Each structure stands twice: as structure tokens, then as C-alpha cells.
Structure 1
Amino acid sequence: MFFYIWLVTIFAALWLYFKDAYSRFTRYGVKQLRPPPPLGNMGRILFRMEHLADHLQELYNAFPEERFVGRFEFTNPMVIVRDIEMVKRITIKDFEYFLDHRTIVDERSDPFFGRNLFSLKGQEWKDMRSTLSPAFTSSKMRVMVPFMMEAGTQMIEELKRQMRDGKVDHLDIDCKDLTCRYANDVIASCAFGIKVNSQFEVDNEFFMMGKETVSSFNFNQMIKFFVLSNFPNVASRLKIQLFTEETKIFFKSLVSKTMKDREINNIIRPDMIHLLMEAKKGRLLHDEKTIKDTDAGFATVEESVIGKKKIDRVWSDEDLIAQAILFFIAGFEGISAAMCFTLHELAVNPEAQDKLVQEIRENDMKNGGKFDYTSIQNMKYMDMVVSEVLRLWPAAIALDRTCNKDYNLGKVNSKATEDFYIRKGEVIMIPVWAIHHDPKFYPNPTKFDPERFSDENKHKIHPLSYMPFGFGPRNCIGSRFALCEVKVMLYQLLQHMEVVPNEKTRIPARLSTENFNLRMHGGHWLRLKLRK
């Protein structure tokens, strides 16, 4: 009897606890999908039944009259913003209330991943943004194009070699592997100053370390990610870390050795390591765009006043290593995903591919078979294609911000009678994927239609409804680099190869629930054929 009394007491206490926790929104009239305890709205994601992007779109579409809705990660409340004018308030006007991302990797236990630009908070983030911003201007990207072209040449040569050896005129490949290897070689050269040929040397250490760090973001790492972000104290006591000790040692050794060698031998190479070393010495200044400099495209985000501010702060070598690791992660996974989905859309929309190839050929004729940063940025249809891919398949599924002081979000809808206050420490999320797929902003949103971004139509796009690289001062610092790399890869590949579907191509495409990253269910299988 004593046992049963305790059992009933425990269940009653849990019931009261969950009832109170999950009433955070309903008591103020904020709509939500029912959050079954103890996982909240995370169940279908954790059990790999639904991708986060599809989950957020379902929530976004469920309550079309609401300005914002509620969601729970376990018992932690999160506000999902639906109203794009509110997005502007949060990311720009009242930015100081929502300055930081939520903590995922604690800098005390993992400084190399916890002190990068994405993870830093408050004034430290502002200072690091100001320090790094000059490294990502158009003039700095211009000198990195040859490094990208070199990686592209390696890719084309290896594809042709495989065709010659196999005595075939086509290859059926998983484009995720192809683009990861290309992105790996670009980031190795542009960020770390080393030459790698991952297309030929398939198991080289740099690529395998990248694959382990980023690409294999499997179910176990998903669990770690949500424990780290939702239960930091538990994660700290259990010493849970997202990345292995081997990964940290590899990158620390690589960056430290490279910087030391350059200091001793006075080596200057116009890559990210050089720029970081210049930043540490206070020599990296924010140069304004000149007449000859062209933005990387419609999706390019502008630097804010914060990024253009000059500071005198001195950073440690560990801080610089943390930034180099961030460049690698973003370059390896995010950019390769954009390339994969671009190739898929061109394969299943051959008319768009033909039009882009024609533009490439015209550029070749005009420039004697050569291209550079300026010429590739002046290709209008290329930019239309890439802009539409980033709308349809945005790598940043959602933007998160932590509220650092109680904030009045206003009324949840036109019929509400009282305002809703988000509390300090609570998280808001801006569902980029769902907004990009809202027919209110993009008619027939699942259709791949580059014409949305033509000179005749792009003025119709609400600027707050398109944010593949984020919005406001905390936008993606590397948008120019990413866009430039995707375009260089497309230019070189389509010069030599035709991209078509094969028997394994997934039509229509849908996201895999096996991985937290943006991956296609069944793989990114396509056929590459030699152009005649």
C-alpha cells in the first residue's frame, strides 16, 4: 500500500508539473500543437518520423491568423514568429533584446566550438563581428576565386578520368559526395591554405575529418544536440560534447602549425588564415565597395554598423582557431547542400539548365573562355537560379534568438485583448523554411521558378520574406563567399557536364528524416553526361 501511495504521489506531481509547464502559452491565448509530455513537440523529430523543416511548416500553417505561435522542446517554451513585420522588429529594430543565439556548445567545456562567431554573445560577439567583417567583403572574395576554380578543375578532371577508365560517357553519382569533396577542397585552400584533392584522394585526412565532424550528423548526435541546447547543466555534468576530442586536436594542430609556419617564414597567401592573422594584429580594415566590386547576388546580405565598427581588441590564438573551425563547418556542409539541391533542380528542370548553359557559353565567348569574380556575378540567370534554390531549399531552416530581457511581443492576433511577454532566457524562432514556402509570398511555392528573381519580378518579393542568410546584424557573415563558391562550381561543371535524372533520382524530392542536416530522402542521385 505504501508503494502504491508513493506511485500515485509521483504521478500526480509529474502531472501537475507538466500541466503547468505546458500551459505557458495557452493561459495567454497563444495557439500551439498539443505537446505530449515529456518530449513536448519533439517526439516525431527525435523518432525520425518528421524533419524539423516539415515540423515547423506544419506549425506555421496550422494557425494562419496568428502573429506568433508556441512550441515546446521537451518542457522548454519557444515562440515561433509568423508575422514578418515582427521579424523585422526582433532582428533589427529591437535587436538588442535578441542579440544572442541560444547556447549549444558551452565555451567553458569546448572553447574551440563555443567561442566561434555563431556562439559568442553580447559585446564579445559584436567585437568579433567587427574584427571578421572586413575579411568577407567583395574585394577579399575576388582573390579567392582562383582557389575555387582550382578545386573545380580537379573535380572535372577526376570525373572525366572515371569515364575514360570505365569507357562510358556518363556517371551515376550521389551528388552529396561530389559536392562535399569539392567544398572540402575549396575550404582547405581558401581557409586553411593547404592543397587537397578529395576527388582523387578519397580518404585524405582533411576530408575524413570533415565528414566525421559535420556530414555524419546522425541520430546520436541529434540527441546530443538537443540535450546540449535544452539541458545544459545535465550535459555539463555528463560531459556531453558534440564533437570528438580527435576533431579538436586535428583542427587546433592544423591552424596553429599553419600560423606558426607563416610567421616564421613570412609567408603571405590571400586566404582566411592570413586574414585572421591580420585581424589579430589590427591590420584588417573594412574597405567600402568600389565601383568595380559587384555583390554576389540577390541573396547577399549587407553588413550592419556593428560589423563596420573599428575595434582594438586583441584575440587569442584559440579564438582565431575557433573561427577557422566555424568556416570549415559552414563551408563543408552548408555550401555543399546548396550545390546538391541546385544540381537536382537543374536536372529535373532541363529548360532552366539549357538557359543557364547558354548564358555560360555567351560569357565564355565574351571573355575568351575565362571568367572571374566580376564576370560571374554579372550573370543574371545564374543568380536567378541560385536565388530560387536558396528560397526553395534554405540551409538555414530557422533562425533562433534568445531573449535577454523581458519583451512585449504584443497581441497574438487581431482578436486578442492582452499582450504577450516573452521572458528573459526564452527562445524565439523565425521559421525561414515555412516563410519561403508560404503561397502568400510565393505563388505555387513548391515549384522551382527562377523567373521569380528576374529584373521584371524581383521587386515583387517582400524583402522580409526572403532570408536564406538570415536577417539583421546577426546575418551570415559569409554570404558572398557561399554564393561565389556555388556559382563557380556550377559554371565549371555545366561547361563540361549535362546533369540529368537517373533511376535513383527522387522525384518529387523530400527531406530525409534520418539526418538533422538538409538531405534528400534516398540520396542525391543524378547522372552526369559529357557535353558534346
Structure 2
Amino acid sequence: MIVLIWLSVILAALVLYMRQAYSKFSRYGVKHFPVVPLVGNLLNELMRKKHIAETLDDMYHSFPEERFVGRYEFLKGVVIIRDLELVKKIAVKDFEHFLDHRMLVDDSVEPLFGRNLFSLRGQEWKDMRSTLSPAFTSSKMRAMVTFMMEVSDQMIGSLKKQIKESGDDYVDVDTKDLTTRYANDVIASCAFGLKVNSHDDRNNQFYNIGYETATSGFKRILIFFGYTCFPAIMKKFNVKLFSEATTDFFQSIVLNTMDERQKKNIYRPDMIHLLMEAKKGKLTHEEKSEEQTNTGFATVEESEVGKAKINREWSDTDLTAQAILFFVAGFETVSTAMSFLMYELAVHPDIQERLAQEIRDNDAKHGGKFDFNSIQNLTYLDMVISEVLRLWPPAPALDRLCTKDYNLGKANAEADKDYIIRKGEAAVIPMWAFHHNPEFFSDPYKFDPERFSEQNKHKIKPFTYFPFGLGPRNCIGSRFALCEIKVMVYQLFQQMEVSPCKKTKIPAVLRRDTFNLKIQGGEYVRFRVRK
């Protein structure tokens, strides 16, 4: 009888607590979807019924009159931003109130992943951003084009070899696998100074560990929500995103490479070198005209936060953490953009032919050579890449953690109270939803590079297109990513053409078991040598 009484008391307390937690938004007139007890609004993700991009898109479009809406992740409320002026305030104007990202890992549990630029917070983030931003200017990217070209040549050579061995004049390839191997080898070369050929040596250690590190499967989804909703519990049980083998592998590569270069006075213009320079405090910003070389419509510019001068020493762990971040970010996001680009060009042969013609014209103009500057002048190439990043943004949303209580105002015209987002609560800006809003982009699910032509790109409303993020906390590597994609596309479509095959999924449907953007059934297209 005593046990039953206690169980009843606990159950009643739990019901009261949930009722209190799940009334947070309704008390202020903030709309939200019906909740499932304990799960909140996460049922679709947990049951793998929808990709998170689709879930946020549903919330965004289901409440067209709202400035922001609510979402419950387990018992924790998160604000989804719809209003453009509010997006501007959170990302730029009142940035100091939304300085940080939500926790992905705890730096005391996983320092090599918790001490990177994405995870750092407050003044430490500002200092690291200022330390690293000179490493990502146009002249630094220019020095890495040769490395990218070498990797691209390896990829094309592998494709030609597969075609020759197939006995046909074509080969059907999963472009996600192809582009992850390309991205892997570019990062190996440009960041770690390693020569890797993952197309021929398909099971090399660098690729296998990289693939495991960068892929966000269902287990990682649960860990992410665990840290965002129950950080103390996750820390207590020492829950980690990555294995000890992965951590040891990257730490060994970075520290051993730095040590060898210092002892032998080796110079190679890659990220390891730039990190060594950063540690010595020798990285400085270039002249404005040089730094702002036009690298594409999607490029984001560095804010004053990243240009501040600092005097701070970083540990080996801190620098290793940045090298690992370069790998994870470059491996997944760039490969996603490139795989979807190949998919769209395969199903839109007219766009592919126009792009190929621009490449042929540039090739003839420069005698078969190209460099960093010449590929920036290919306007249609930039239009195609800009549209891929609109239609298939590798990161479907931006998150910002409130660092000081902030008044969001009223959620809608009928609300009678302002909503105060408290310190420690999160705001999410659903990039996918903005990019697919017909109010901002007509026929938004159509692949149409003309949106970014000289005649049309000025029509794009500010804060509706942000594939590399917004404000001071935007993606530091936008120039690197765009350069890497352009080099690959230039060399590939100079020599190859793509078309649909039996395995090509038309229309594309997103996989629901991962945070990564992937097509259900794979991103297969057919490659032929261009005649």
C-alpha cells in the first residue's frame, strides 16, 4: 500500500511538472504543435518519419501569421523564428544576446570536440575566431588550389578507370560516396598535409575514421538531443560522440605533423601550417581589397568580431580541436553540396550543357589552364552552386543559444504578452524553410540557377538566403568550401558528363534516419567521358 501511495505521488508530481513545462508557450500565445508526453514534438524524428528539415518546414509553414512558434524537445522549449526582422536582430543586431551554439558535446568529456570553434562560447569563441579568421582569406585559399586540383585529378582518373573496366562507355556511381572520398582527400591534403587516394585505396584508415566521425546516424541524433536537453545527465554518464580510437588518431596526426615540421623546418601552405602560425600569433588580416576578393554569391564576410587583435596562447589540444573541426565540417557539408549538384545536373541536361560550355570557353581563353582567379569569373558556375545551396542547404537550420534574457515581443497580433526568451534557452532559424518559401523564391522546389543571375540576384531579400549562416557566427570556411566545389566541378565537367540511370531517384526523397542531407536510396547518376 505504501509503495502504491508513493507511485501515485510520483506520477502526480510528474503529470504536474509536464503540465507546467508544456504550458510555457501557450501562456504567451505562442503557437506550437500538440505534444506527446515526455517526447514533446520529437516523435517524427525519433520514429524516423521525417527529416528534421521537413519537421521544421512543417512548423514554419503551418503558422503563417506568427513571428515565431514553439517546439518542445522532450521537456525543453525551443523558439523557431519566422519573422525576417527578428532573424536580423538575433543573428546580427543583438548578436551579443545570442552568442553561442547549443551544446553538442561537453569539453570536459571530449575536449578535442568540445574545444573547437563551433563549440566554444563567449569570449573564448571570440578569441578563437579572431585567431583563425586570417587563415580563411582569399590568398590563403589561392595557395591551396593546386592541392584541390591534384585530388580532383585522382577522382576523375578513378572514374575513367571504372568506365574502362565496365565494358561499357559509362559507369553508374553513388555520388555521395564519390564526393565524400573527394572531400576526404582534399581535407587530408589541405588541412593535414597528407597524400591520400580514397578512390583507389577505398579502405584507407583516414577515410574510414573520417566517415565514422562525420556521419550523423540515429545514435548521434539521440546524443545531440540528450546534450541539448539533459546536459548534466549526459556529462555524469560520460556519454561521448566519438570513440577513443578516433580521438587518438586525429591527435596523433596533428601533433606529430606539427612536431616534424618544426624540427625539419618544413613549409607547406596548408591548415597545419596556418595553425602553427596562429599559435605563434603570426596570422594577420590582409588588406581589405585582397580579403574581399569575390568568391561567390554565397560567400559570407568576416565581422569585426573576427578581425579583433588578441594576445592569447592556445594549447595543443585547442589547435588539434580546430583541425578536427575543419575535417568534420569539410567532409560532410561540402560532399553533400557536390553530390546534390551532380544529381541536379544529371536531371537537368540543359543546365549541365550551359555550364560545360562556360568551362570550355574559359579553357580555350586561358590555354587549358585555370587558377583561383579565373574560376571566380565563371558566373554561371557560381549561379549553379548558389542554387544548389539554396535548394539543398547542407545544414537545414541555424541554432543560437540565448546568453542574456531577451524580449522577442509578441508572437502574433492576438497575443497579449511579450515573450521573454531566457538565458540558456535556444532559438532556431530554419534555413530550409526560408530557402523553400514561395514568398521569397518562386516555385521554390524547382532547380533554377537564373535566380542568381546578374539580372535577378538583387531581387533576393536580405536574410532569406544564408547557406553559410548569418552574422558574426557564420561559417568561417565559406571561401574554402566554395573554392573546393568550383575546382571539382570545373575539372569534372570539363571531362565528364552525367545523366540519370535506373537507380536515380526522381523525385528525390530525404532519408529520415540521419541529420545529414541524403537521398533515400542513394544519389546515383551515370558518368560518361565527354566527347
Instruction: State the TM-score, normalizing by the size of structure 2.
Output: 0.98
Who is 1:252 aligned against?
251
The residue matched to 1:80 in structure 2 has which SS?
strand
Question: Residue 201 of structure 1 aligns with which residue?
Answer: 201
Consecutive unaligned residues of structure 2, counting only runs of 5 or more, are none
Aligned in 2, Cα 1:261/1:296: closer, same or farther, shift over 3 Å?
A: same
Contact 2:139–2:291 at 8 Å: present in 1 too?
no
Is it true that 1:35 corresponds to 2:44 in the alignment? no
Partner of 1:302: 301
Judged with a 3 Å threshold, the aligned counterparts in structure 2 of structure 1 residues 238 and 363 are, in CA distance, closer, same or farther, namely same
Query: Per-residue CA shift, 1:38-80, capped at 9, x if unaligned?
Result: 1111111011111000000000011000000000110011000
AA of the residue aligned to 1:497: M
Which residue number in structure 2 is paired with residue 337 of structure 1?
A: 336
Deviation of 1:228 (Å): 2.1
Segment drifting more, 218-227 vs 339-348: 218-227
Deviation at 1:9, TM superposition (A): 3.0
Three-state SS of the structure 2 residue aligned to 1:53 is: helix
Give the 3-state SS of the residue equivalent to 2:285 in structure 1. Answer: coil
Q: Which AA in structure 1 matches 2:328?
A: I
Would the aligned equivalents of 2:29 and 2:416 in 1 still touch at CA under 8 Å? Answer: no
Matches within 5 A, 1:127-526: 127-215=127-215, 217-290=216-289, 294-526=293-525
- Indicate the SS of the match to 1:220: helix
SS in 2 for 1:464: coil
Q: Which amino acid aligns with 2:221?
A: M
1:69 is paired with a residue whose SS is strand
Match of 1:264, SS? helix
Preserved contact between residue 293 and residue 374 of structure 1 (Cα < 8 Å):
no
Asked whether the 8 Å contact 1:138–1:289 carries over to 2, the reply is: no
How far, CA to CA, are the matches of 1:463 and 1:450 in structure 2?
Answer: 18
Q: How many residues align?
A: 531
Contact map agreement 2:183 2:331 (CA 8 A) in 1 = yes
2: distance between equivalents of 1:505 and 1:289?
A: 45
Q: What is the distance in 2 between the residues matched to 1:7 and 1:285?
A: 63
Measure, in 1, the Cα distance between the counterparts of 2:521 and 2:84. 34
Q: Measure how far apart 1:446 and its partner are.
A: 0.5
Q: Residue 122 of structure 2 aligns with which residue?
A: 122
Q: Any idea what SS the aligned residue of 2:408 has?
A: strand
User: 1:13/1:291 Cα in 2 relative to 1: closer, same or farther (>3 Å)?
Assistant: closer
Q: Deviations over 1:436-487 (max 9, x none)?
A: 1111100111100100000000000012100100000000000000011111
In structure 1, C-alpha distance between the alignment counterparts of 2:290 and 2:422, rounded to whole Å = 46
- How many angstroms apart in 2 are the aligned matches of 1:519 and 1:405? 36
Does the 8 A contact of 2:29 with 2:414 survive in 1?
no
5+ residue gaps, structure 1: none
* Preserved CA contact (<8 Å) 1:295 1:480: no
More displaced 10-residue stretch of structure 1: 101-110 or 164-173? 164-173
- Partners of 2:292 and 2:95 in 1: CA distance: 29
The residue that corresponds to 1:106 in the other structure is 106
Secondary structure at the residue paired with 1:446? coil
The question of whether the paired residues in 2 share the 8 Å contact of 1:101 and 1:121 is answered with: yes
Give 1:316's aligned amino acid. Answer: S
* Offset of residue 2 of structure 1: 4.7
1:85 aligns with 2:85: yes
Kindly state the Cα deviation for residue 3 of structure 1 after the two structures are TM-superposed.
4.8
Secondary structure, counterpart of 1:10 in structure 2: helix
